[in-house]
Amino acid sequence: MTIPKFKPVAFKTYKGYLLHYDDPRALNTFGISPLFTADQQQQAYEAGKQAAVPEGFKIVPIDPTEEMISASWIASKVDPIDNYISYKAMIEVSPEPKK
């Protein structure tokens, strides 16, 4: 999912003035911040969360858990030369991040 691009509903100047998005003064982008609706911000946030971890990837802890170490040790007994089996076993039992 891609992050949606929204048209700002208004702009806020560096002095705190609000400008409608069609106001020609909004073309001067110095010191102007775009303002979006709460729905637009929420949609962009949700899309960004989904895009944070690409498909086929998994977030894992920096330090392996006891379960991950145990899985790696057991897998190494199957084939001590093939590190892929050990790595795969650790990834399969890695915990999901808390939401």
Q: Point out which residues pair with 10 in neighbouring strands.
A: 20, 35
Could you give the number of structural domains in the chain?
A: 2
Distance CA(1)–CA(42), nearest Å, equals 14
- Could you tell me the two tokens for 72? 């790696």
In a domain, 37, yes or no: yes
Classified as helix, coil or strand, 69 is helix
Predicted TM-score of the model (pTM)? 0.44
> Looking at the predicted structure, is the pLDDT value of residue 99 above 70?
no
Residue 44 belongs to what domain range? 10-51
Residue 15 in any domain: the answer is yes
Q: How far apart are CA 79 and CA 71, in angstroms?
A: 13
pLDDT digits (tens, 9 = 90+) for 4-61: 677 777 888 877 778 877 777 777 767 778 788 888 888 887 877 776 777 778 888 8
Q: What integer pLDDT is reported at residue 83 of this predicted model?
A: 79
Question: Does residue 2 carry a pLDDT above 60?
Answer: no
93 class by beta-carbon count within 10 Å (0-12 exposed, 13-18 middle, 19+ buried)? middle
Co-location of 37 and 71 in the same domain: no
Residues 34 and 47 in one domain: yes
64 and 93 in a common domain: yes
Residue 4 lies in a domain: no
Is the per-residue pLDDT at 73 higher than 80? yes
